[in-house]
Amino acid sequence: MTEAREPETDLRLFFHPRTIAVIGATDDKRKPGYALLMKVKARAERDGATVYGVNPRLNDIDGIPCFPALGDVPGEIDVAVIMIGDAEQGLRDVVAKGARFAIIFTAGFREIGEEGAKREEELARIARDGGVRLFGPNTNVNAFEMFPDTDGKKLALVTQSGHQGRPIAQGVELGIGVKYWAPTGNEADLEFADFVEYFVDIDDVAVVAAYIEGFKSIPRLRVAAEKAARAGKPIVLVKIGRTEAGQRMAMAHTGHLTGSDAATNAFFRQYGIVRVDDLDELLETAALFTRIPKPPNEGVCIYAISGGTGAHMADLCAWGGLELPTLSEETQQKLRDAIPDYLTVSNPVDNGAQVMRKPGQNRGLIDIILEDPIVGILVCPITGILPSMSKVIAGDIVDAYKTAKKPVVVIWGSPVTDEEGYRILIEGGVPMFRSFRSAVVGLRRYLDYWRFADRFEERPTPAPRLPSGFETMLSGSGPLSEYDSASIAAQFGVPFAMTALCETEEQAVQAATKLGETVVMKACGSGILHKTDVGLVRVGVAPGDVVSTFRALDEAGRAHGGDAGYDGVLVQEFASEGEEVILGFSDDPQFGPVVLFGLGGVFVEVLKDVALRVAPLTRADAEEMIREVKGFPLLDGARGRPKADIGALADLILNVSRMACELRGRVAEFDLNPVRVRPEGQGVVALDALVVRSRG
Ligand code: ADP
Ligand code: MG
């Protein structure tokens, strides 16, 4: 037995080991293991590292010295690759040898079900107890892939599936810089977040590209994503599990739980994680971040060589939310000197293929465009044209890309990729899209990331805390009455309509007299959840009807709520003015409390027009949520309505976020439905509340 020691945390040693031992090294050229061994060998040769084989039958494999057991290998081992079926034994040997990292190539763990999951936990335990950091199981040796050591910024790749990473790693064929590849497999120990944290510290890594089936730990992801955001380095990823079918595949594959997708998207927005839909987008979007910096503004100018191209791009830009500002008079005038009258120069600019024949002509026009302060990014869509022409324009675009202060992007819209123009663009390193649509989508995501970066702020999570006096009430399980739910929410600054809980007719009459001309009356109790559905809400009760209403509600309330679930009749101030919204949170098994905001009381379930954010929220989150719902114009003064008090609504959302965090683990669901948002300056008022306590 070796003494327990601190596990290695510096992943540099993992990616740059001095010594590597391959347990189960084979000399059988027909086996994939042989090719993998050769890959490790090639990499070690490049970096001046030493590779050892462990195989009781062999002394040497193509110059790699072999030993009968890992214990026989001389010196210290930085990384041990386990390629034998009995991974547990292999790992115990690694622990005994005192190696720092183990890569477990072997499959057949969590991905095959419960039995495999148990074995995997055992691996994690052996590694933890032995101070070895574990990579895999069910991974490969792609971490030792050799990428060209090009100049400039690069992407670092993390994939939970080797095959899904290959097309991104192959981006090097397009001149895209790739620094590292972590194919993490089942993540029994080292996980996505560990690699993100390591990669964003590396100077020439500009972006982390990832293919993810499920996150092992959301708290770890949060920390890593915050670190990435602080560094201004985006995480661009494909996250599967959008649909049920996708989720089942993910369970079967690496065995992660995929969280509810809406919560996942909310989390991504809040942490600046750029979600893309497929591997093409992953490569193109990640590459964009390696090649162009933050733009000075969001104005896009299209520099096209045909009116059709310009019009098509303009159409797609409008669809995809890219702004094409009109160029200034001065800019248009200058362009006009070279471009005939019948072509547009306002944006899109259409050079009509008139000025692209001589090298430098396009460059002159591009410079004029980029000098216009309204332009933040230049996009040059090139469709298949005569090779002699595309060569000239490509040369000018590369020139502009390399020297201009603003981002320049090209679209190569032709399937022909063996002509000179294409080669010039690839060699020039201009960010390239292969379709108009993908360019628009990619640029929108790129701009969204920089918007995020501009308003990024840390979001400390409030510690769990029960409001004093409510400890007993909150330690039970199941729903609470409207009255109790509102009393708890009021502790978090939620303003309610004035309400009295009345057990007698006299109390009801007294309360009604105080609360105004007409009142609202409701039966109240933990056994009465959706009061309207069972006829237990009366809106606009006149003074003369208070007694009869009390009697009717009292009787029906007892009948519905039962002895334990009925408390009395609420007499409530009648709140007529304002738009009805819903606000609440529910505890997601992966993300914790997720805050929901939506419009329109009764229609919310029909229209599903809601916005979600994972707690805790920032003020920017709250403001964004309000604007995100389709019905926002109703709050914003549409059709002659008064503008609603959005500031007070944002405050309320933040209060609900704090409540979600402080009552974490105690409250499974919370609803304020409805809240009325009054006209500007008049605040908000909640009219109903429901707390559902967590089990146990
Ligand atoms: P539930 O959701 O349990 O059916 P609510 O207390 O939300 O019952 O009441 C149902 C509806 O009655 C609300 O959506 C709202 O439109 C209206 N309402 C409830 N309380 C008031 C009030 N104090 N002032 C004005 N309208 C109210
Ligand atoms: Mg309600």
Distance CA 26, CA 414 (A): 46
Whether the per-residue pLDDT at 255 is higher than 70: the answer is no
- Give the mean pLDDT of the chain: 93
| pTM of the predicted structure, to 2 decimals | 0.92
Distance CA 298, CA 89 (A): 57
Question: For residue 639, how many other CB atoms are within 10 A of its CB?
Answer: 6
Whether the per-residue pLDDT at 256 is higher than 90: the answer is no
Whether the per-residue pLDDT at 254 is higher than 80: the answer is no
CA 224-229-235 angle, to 5 degrees, is 70
Q: Residues 452-483: pLDDT tens digits?
A: 999 999 998 999 999 999 999 999 999 999 99
Give the CA distances from residue 320 to residues 43, 123, 181, in Å, rounded to whole numbers and listed in that order.
Answer: 43, 47, 31
CA of 409 to the centre of ligand 2 (A): 51
Assign residue 108 a region (left: φ > 0; alpha: ψ between -120 and 50; beta: otherwise): left
Whether the per-residue pLDDT at 609 is higher than 90: the answer is no
At residue 3 the predicted structure's pLDDT band, cuts being 50, 70 and 90, is very low
Q: Residues 501-547: pLDDT tens digits?
A: 999 999 999 999 999 889 999 999 999 988 998 999 999 999 999 99
Residue with tokens 């107890």: 129
Extended strands (E) in 630-687: 667-677, 684-686
CA of 688 to the centre of ligand 1 (A): 6
pLDDT for res 600? 73
| In contact, 668 and 693? CB cutoff 8 Å | yes
**Which CATH class, in words, describes the domain spanning 498-573?**
alpha beta
Distance CA 214, CA 228 (A): 19
Q: Residues 355-377: pLDDT tens digits?
A: 777 889 999 999 999 999 999 99
Distance CA 507, CA 18 (A): 82
CA of 579 to the centre of ligand 2 (A): 14
What tokens were used for 255?
């065995």
For 349-359, what is the mean pLDDT?
Answer: 83
**Same fold? 142-291, 498-573:** no
At residue 262 the predicted structure's pLDDT band, cuts being 50, 70 and 90, is confident
Whether the per-residue pLDDT at 8 is higher than 60: the answer is no
What tokens were used for 665?
């683990």
Q: Which of 106-110, 202-206, 573-577, 603-607 has the highest mean pLDDT?
A: 202-206
Distance CA 226, CA 614 (A): 14
Tell me which residue has its CA closest to atom 2 in ligand 1.
530
At residue 251 the predicted structure's pLDDT band, cuts being 50, 70 and 90, is low
Cis preceding-peptide flag for 616 (omega within 30 of 0): yes
CA R_g for the chain: 31
For 170-196, what is the mean pLDDT?
Answer: 96
Q: Residues 480-491: pLDDT tens digits?
A: 999 999 999 999
Q: Residues 66-124: pLDDT tens digits?
A: 999 999 999 999 999 999 999 999 999 999 999 999 999 888 898 888 999 999 999 99
> Three-state SS for 636?
coil
Give the CA distances from residue 435 to residues 40, 155, 362, 502, 637, in Å, rounded to whole numbers and listed in that order.
Answer: 37, 22, 22, 67, 39
Extended strands (E) in 548-578: 568-573
| In contact, 408 and 400? CB cutoff 8 Å | yes
For 191-207, what is the mean pLDDT?
Answer: 96
Return the CATH number of the domain spanning residue range 142-291.
Answer: 3.40.50.261
Share of the chain above pLDDT 70, in %: 95
| In contact, 95 and 128? CB cutoff 8 Å | no
Q: Residues 370-410: pLDDT tens digits?
A: 999 999 999 999 986 788 888 999 999 999 999 999 999 99
Cis preceding-peptide flag for 589 (omega within 30 of 0): no
Give the CA distances from residue 392 to residues 8, 133, 355, 587, in Å, rounded to whole numbers and listed in that order.
Answer: 53, 53, 10, 58
CATH architecture of the domain covering 12-135? 3-Layer(aba) Sandwich (3.40)
Distance CA 235, CA 200 (A): 9
Q: Where are the domains of the chain?
A: 12-135, 142-291, 300-430, 498-573
Q: State if residue 537 touches ligand 1 by the CB under 6 angstroms criterion.
A: yes
Per-state percent for the chain, helix, strand, coil, to nearest 5 = 40, 20, 35
Give the chain's largest Cα–Cα span: 102
Q: State if residue 498 touches ligand 1 by the CB under 6 angstroms criterion.
A: no
Distance CA 255, CA 112 (A): 8
Whether the per-residue pLDDT at 695 is higher than 80: the answer is no
At residue 354 the predicted structure's pLDDT band, cuts being 50, 70 and 90, is confident
Question: For residue 416, how many other CB atoms are within 10 A of its CB?
Answer: 11
Contacts of 87 (CB under 8 A, 6+ apart): 104, 106, 119, 123, 137
Q: Residues 148-180: pLDDT tens digits?
A: 988 999 999 999 987 889 999 999 999 999 999
* Stronger pLDDT, 244 or 624, i.e. the higher one: 624
Q: Are strands 178-183 and 154-159 parallel, antiparallel or unpaired?
A: parallel
| In contact, 317 and 300? CB cutoff 8 Å | yes
Q: State if residue 532 touches ligand 1 by the CB under 6 angstroms criterion.
A: yes
Q: State if residue 349 touches ligand 1 by the CB under 6 angstroms criterion.
A: no
Tell me which residue has its CA closest to atom 17 in ligand 1.
539
Return the CATH number of the domain spanning residue range 300-430.
Answer: 3.40.50.261
pLDDT for res 424? 97
Distance CA 211, CA 305 (A): 36
Assign residue 684 a region (left: φ > 0; alpha: ψ between -120 and 50; beta: otherwise): beta
Residue with tokens 């090639």: 42
The end-to-end CA distance of the chain, in Å, is 43
Whether the per-residue pLDDT at 627 is higher than 80: the answer is yes
Whether the per-residue pLDDT at 249 is higher than 70: the answer is no
At residue 602 the predicted structure's pLDDT band, cuts being 50, 70 and 90, is low
Residue 77's φ and ψ, nearest 5 degrees, are: -115, 125
Q: Which residues surround ligand 2, an ion (CB under 5 A)?
A: 673, 688
Q: State if residue 530 touches ligand 1 by the CB under 6 angstroms criterion.
A: yes
Q: State if residue 497 touches ligand 1 by the CB under 6 angstroms criterion.
A: yes
Looking from the CA of residue 522, the nearest atom of ligand 1 is 6
For 270-288, what is the mean pLDDT?
Answer: 97
Q: State if residue 91 touches ligand 1 by the CB under 6 angstroms criterion.
A: no
CA of 673 to the centre of ligand 2 (A): 4
